[in-house]
Amino acid sequence: MNTPLTPHGPGFRFIDRFTRNEPNSGTGWKTLDPALPFFADHFPGRPLMPAVLLVECAAQTAGVLWMQDSSQPETPLFLAGIDQFRVSGAVVPGETLETRVTLVKEFGALAQFEAECRVQDRTVARGRFMMSRQLASG
C-alpha cells in the first residue's frame, strides 16, 4: 500500500501523485472519481467540483512541496490565507486536475505560494495563498 502524500483522511486527499519540477516548484495530480460525494450535490444533474476544493488542491500540493524541504516533515501545515484566487473554468467528474505550485517566499513559519490548476490544456483556476507551519506550544 502506498503512503499517502498528505496527512488528510482518504475522503479529503486531493493529490494522487506529486512530482517536483524545480527546487521551488512541483505538480500534483488528482483524478476526480465521479463517485466523490461532493459531485452528488454540487450540482444535481450538472456536477462540478466546488471552487473551494480547487483551493484545497493547491494548498495540499504546496504542502507536499514545502514538507519535502522541511527538517520536521511531520509538522502539520495549514492554509493561512488566500491573497487572491480566480476560477476561470469548470472541473467535472472523470477529469484529472493538474495543480502546479511555486514557492514564492518564506517568512519563517509562513510561506507564500502561487498555483495554477489545469485540466488538459486549459487553466481552470490560479492564485496566490499563504501556508503556515504549526508552531510548537510550550
Q: What is the spatial distance between Cα 47 and Cα 125, in angstroms, rounded to a whole number?
A: 17
> Which cell is 68 given?
519535502
Residue 41 CB partners (closer than 8 Å, separation 6+): none
Q: Are 84 and 125 in contact (CB under 8 A)?
A: no
- Spatial distance between the Cα atoms of 20 and 28, rounded to a whole number of angstroms: 9
Provide CB contacts within 8 A for 46, sequence distance 6+.
none
Alpha carbon 57 to its chain's center: 2
* C-alpha of 65 from chain center: 10
Residues serving a catalytic function are: 42
